[in-house]
């Protein structure tokens, strides 16, 4: 509704995990480097955690764009599956064609695929998002997949991505074998106020047209958005979107603290 008014090519606060809109704070940059290091050095298991809405999924999309053509990837967005369904999803995500419908068949095909990938000098990476929703049995299945290896290296690099509950799950005695294999870990915290300001400006800039965005958030608006969101990107997006709509309704390009507060109040009322 407000895109034409503000000369945006697209909505700056779309909630989809578009890597083009990823603003790399210091910790997001560190998290991405940890992921890349773990994969390139074939560390086997990597774990990325963070609160809801801190940008984990978007960071995973950015990771996929950085891995290059010699890295085969499988991204599992919904791991709440049976063991057979999970194996089938992994096989299908790697682009392996099969008519087999049993766990043994899927594991055999996956092992053969990984050996071919390794022989070609390539790597294979499995990324599981929302891993905190997995049962202990499914996590144990994933651990067993890490046993697929040659005498010299792991055939599959596994990235577990999830909310803080994942860290608590991995601390359970029954998952100690898996926890011990995770040698690269990173936890994402929300942004601070300065980062929130830069984040807002970045998204306006990416969405802006050739003439640049007319909209801008003044210092009071940034403080209000930070106070409401706590620096969580998903909430920053929600209030930023509502604040721009308020600016459109009031026919102003300057998003003030008052408009940001109105947007926050509307969001609270919708909850």
CATH number at residue 216: 1.10.8
Number of domains in the chain: 2
For residue 116, what are the domain limits?
A: 26-188
Q: What is the pLDDT of residue 227?
A: 96
For residue 21, being part of any structural domain is answered with: no
Q: Of 188, 219, 241, at which residue does a domain stop?
A: 188
> Taking the chain (271 residues) in consecutive chunks of 10 residues, what is each chunk's mean pLDDT?
88 86 92 95 93 92 91 94 93 88 88 94 95 93 86 88 95 92 94 97 87 84 97 95 94 95 86 49
Residues 41 and 173 in one domain: yes
Domain check: are 58 and 184 in the same one? yes
What's the confidence (pLDDT) of residue 121? 92
Per the rule left: phi > 0, alpha: psi between -120 and 50, beta: everything else, 51 is beta
Indicate if 84 and 40 belong to the same structural domain: yes
Q: How does strand 71-76 pair with strand 254-255?
A: unpaired
Predicted local distance difference test score (pLDDT) of residue 17: 80
What backbone phi and psi angles, to 5 degrees, belong to 76? -105, 115
Task: Flag whether 70 is in a domain.
Answer: yes
Residue 54 lies in a domain: yes
What is the greatest pairwise CA distance in the chain?
Answer: 67
Q: Are residues 109 and 237 in the same domain?
A: no
- Supply the CATH number for residue 32's domain: 3.40.50.300
Q: Which residue, of 188, 203, 226, is where some domain finishes?
A: 188
Q: What pLDDT, on a 0 to 100 scale, did the predictor assign at position 212? A: 60
Please name the helix (run of DSSP H) or strand (run of DSSP E) that holds residue 88, with its range, or none.
Answer: helix 83-93
Does 172 share its domain with 220? no
160 part of a folded domain: yes
pLDDT at 101: 76
Tokens of 126: 């499995």
Is residue 178, in this structure, part of any structural domain at all? yes
Report the C-alpha dihedral over residues 56, 27, 257, 235, rounded to 10 degrees. 10
Residue 206, domain member (yes or no): yes
Same domain assignment for residues 50 and 123 = yes
φ, ψ at 2 (rounded to 5°): -100, 0
Q: Return the pLDDT at 211.
A: 65
The whole-number pLDDT of residue 213 equals 63
pLDDT of residue 148: 83
Looking at the structure, tell me whether residues 111 and 241 fall in a common domain.
Answer: no
Do 41 and 93 sit in the same domain of this protein? yes
């Amino acid at each position: 509704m407000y895109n034409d008014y503000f000369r945006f090519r697209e909505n700056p606060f779309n909630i989809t995990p578009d890597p083009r809109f990823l603003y790399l704070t210091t910790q997001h940059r560190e998290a991405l480097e940890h992921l890349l290091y773990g994969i390139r050095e074939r560390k086997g298991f990597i774990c990325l955690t963070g609160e809801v809405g801190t940008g984990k999924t978007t960071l995973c999309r950015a990771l996929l764009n950085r891995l290059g053509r010699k890295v085969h990837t499988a991204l599992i967005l919904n791991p709440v599956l049976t063991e057979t369904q999970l194996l089938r999803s992994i096989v299908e995500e790697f682009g392996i064609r099969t008519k087999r419908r049993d766990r043994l068949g899927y594991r055999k095909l996956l092992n053969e695929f990984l050996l071919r990938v390794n022989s070609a000098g390539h790597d294979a990476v499995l990324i599981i998002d929302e891993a905190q929703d997995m049962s202990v049995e499914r996590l144990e299945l994933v651990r067993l997949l890490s046993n697929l290896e040659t005498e010299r290296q792991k055939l599959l690099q596994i990235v577990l991505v999830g909310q803080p509950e994942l860290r608590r799950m991995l601390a359970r005695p029954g998952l100690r074998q898996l926890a011990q294999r995770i040698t690269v870990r990173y936890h994402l915290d929300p942004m601070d106020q300065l980062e929130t300001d830069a984040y807002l400006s970045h998204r306006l800039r990416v969405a802006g047209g050739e003439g640049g965005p007319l909209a801008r958030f003044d210092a009071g608006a940034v403080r209000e958005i930070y106070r409401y969101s706590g620096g969580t990107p998903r909430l920053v997006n929600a209030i930023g979107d509502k604040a721009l709509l308020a600016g459109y309704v009031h026919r102003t390009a300057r998003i003030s603290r008052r408009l940001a507060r109105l947007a926050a109040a509307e969001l609270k009322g919708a909850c």
